[in-house]
Structure 1
């Protein structure tokens, strides 16, 4: 077994929201995250990314940079990064210093994925930023400022603020998106692009087309490199996988209803729990999910890859039971090695 396995010829990575479970605590979530990261490393996944969300009682990865360091400390070879840091919530200098510190502590293992959404509601965004002047429309300027802290040649000699640590370090920057905006920006800047197909499946192919059509080669990439996020819930049988998937469905249903809470255990059926309108709305967001037995997952993945032509997959698996979550990723690793 090689140190970096692939699924049907492409690398596969993990997207972890460090879910807080009903009846559990953030401490439990962090233990589960470390355990999953260690197993993912052993199974040959390429990256382990954590996502920034705030004011969400089901997600423990709000202090994303801190948790990245914790995971990197408890693993050895897997790349660890952000999927992503929501840059409008932060001063670019702070992110440069944080990820400069992480790269210094764990050289060659840190990724910096950046998003332009707040990752939360407007009230919480104000609590983070203290004003409304900075928003997603400023993202290109914020990105340029951030990149200049790592590479001062991108700015004028008169720039007096510098990032220590950070300056001169090679921290790979990815742009994340769920629409065409970041796809076009990533293309124009010659950066790798990660698309959130796991909650925006209908925009996947248009955004990837924009990225590939407008891509301009850079010192970083000669050709486009697209990583696509996908929900995968694998189990020994289709029936068990569908049952496990009701935790994810309940979570999104609660988001629609603005009734936030921890990740709930699976239920026998969602019928009677959602209205027809809500069912359709969830299908719009979760319709790209791959749920089933090893055979079903493999077949659906092949079709997904044929459609997206993804260079890499990053897999989210919001499963309530930690052992079942581990088993889902283990099944994927077995498909990877097939």
Structure 2
């Protein structure tokens, strides 16, 4: 049976904007965390597209990927994900063709079907393109065709992009993208860190219907988990309250900046809201290293995950770095020496 030590781990960063902070602060913290994640042996560093959310800075996802890839040397950097219905496939092919040309062999393209925003914002993003989630399968195929040598054969070419090897992942929180990933023979990542309800159904469907392809010979699953690791269970639980407050705001329809932690959530939510937040965050590892390891070992065994991608909406940047470092040490990863121009910044 697989455990945490048996699977690669990656970082999912929403570039949180904290109370009292700015987007500029978030981008500095993102690059700093990415550099440390690289030293600690994490496999990938993914950034997510969200819009009209005051607490998330990574709306221009390809730009932030370039910022991170340009400040690191080895770790793979990508999208977790780009919300394809918001974009023309050609534009994404050109953006990620550009990234792959700048940082060869290090770019991942994770694609999501949701808008990453509310419907009003989705309309503002799409204008008169007429795109919708209903065209997602066709859009994925069109996007994939732009990376093929010769392009889609319609006289339109992605420059740069054509002929480049940019690994494509499908992301989902239901069985729709699981079924499409299986049909196309692509790796699949499930957003269980915020939408766990259909996790097992989606993974079972993906594995059952997977068709080998030129991209992938066997099913490959990545599972999203929230991690709040600290030296004690009490300290980890306190760090977790920032994310709990943020989820509570989403449930109430009042999203906001990432708030500082509190000593207790008592009095901040109703019993129903507490249950809703607990359901949304059930795939979370919170507490001391021993507690976090037991939880992550259990998730790997339960899901058969081939990889884990870890999110950590932690208010204090130092505590956030410490959380990811503790998980790396649980996996047996030791920090490497800082390299090149970042040695002074990381010390």
* Superposition TM-score, scaled by structure 1 size: 0.96
Alignment of 1:260-299 (within 5 A): 260-299=255-294
Deviations 1:123-177 (A, max 9, x none): 110110014832111100000110111015674x3x1111000000000000000
- Name structure 1 gaps, 5 residues minimum: 1-5
Match in the other structure for 2:52: 55
Deviation at 1:300, TM superposition (A): 1.0
- Determine whether 1:104 maps to 2:101: yes
Q: Counterpart of 2:171 in 1: which secondary structure?
A: strand
- Determine whether 1:16 maps to 2:10: no
What do you get for the CA RMSD once the two structures are aligned? 1.2
Whole-Å separation in 1 of the counterparts to 2:274 and 2:147: 45
Deviations 1:241-273 (A, max 9, x none): 000000000001001111121100001111111
Whole-Å separation in 1 of the counterparts to 2:207 and 2:17: 37
Q: Counterpart of 1:20 in 2: which secondary structure?
A: coil
Q: Counterpart of 2:73 in 1: which secondary structure?
A: coil
- Name structure 2 gaps, 5 residues minimum: 334-347
Alignment of 1:237-276 (within 5 A): 237-276=232-271
Match in the other structure for 2:343: none
8 Å Cα contact 1:126/1:132 also seen in 2 = no
Q: Counterpart of 2:227 in 1: which secondary structure?
A: strand
- Determine whether 1:145 maps to 2:171: no
Whole-Å separation in 2 of the counterparts to 1:188 and 1:64: 27
Match in the other structure for 1:3: none
8 Å Cα contact 2:242/2:258 also seen in 1 = yes
Deviations 1:158-200 (A, max 9, x none): x111100000000000000000000000000000000001012
Q: Counterpart of 1:55 in 2: which secondary structure?
A: coil
Match in the other structure for 1:204: 199
- Determine whether 1:334 maps to 2:329: yes
Match in the other structure for 1:302: 297
8 Å Cα contact 2:17/2:23 also seen in 1 = yes
Match in the other structure for 1:320: 315
The match for 1:192 among 187, 190, 193 is 187
Whole-Å separation in 1 of the counterparts to 2:193 and 2:255: 19
Match in the other structure for 1:160: 155
Q: Counterpart of 2:146 in 1: which secondary structure?
A: helix
Match in the other structure for 2:339: none
Alignment of 1:7-156 (within 5 A): 7-131=4-128, 133-152=130-149, 155=152
Q: Counterpart of 1:297 in 2: which secondary structure?
A: helix
Q: Counterpart of 2:243 in 1: which secondary structure?
A: helix
* Superposition TM-score, scaled by structure 2 size: 0.94
The match for 1:224 among 214, 219, 226 is 219
Deviation at 1:283, TM superposition (A): 1.5
> Structure 1 residue runs of 4+, over 6 Å off?
none
8 Å Cα contact 2:12/2:80 also seen in 1 = yes
8 Å Cα contact 1:19/1:60 also seen in 2 = yes
Match in the other structure for 1:213: 208
Whole-Å separation in 2 of the counterparts to 1:72 and 1:95: 17
Deviations 1:192-211 (A, max 9, x none): 00000101222111110011
- The change in CA–CA distance for 1:281 and 1:131 in structure 2 (over 3 A counts) is farther
Moved more, 256-265 or 132-141: 132-141
Deviation at 1:86, TM superposition (A): 0.1
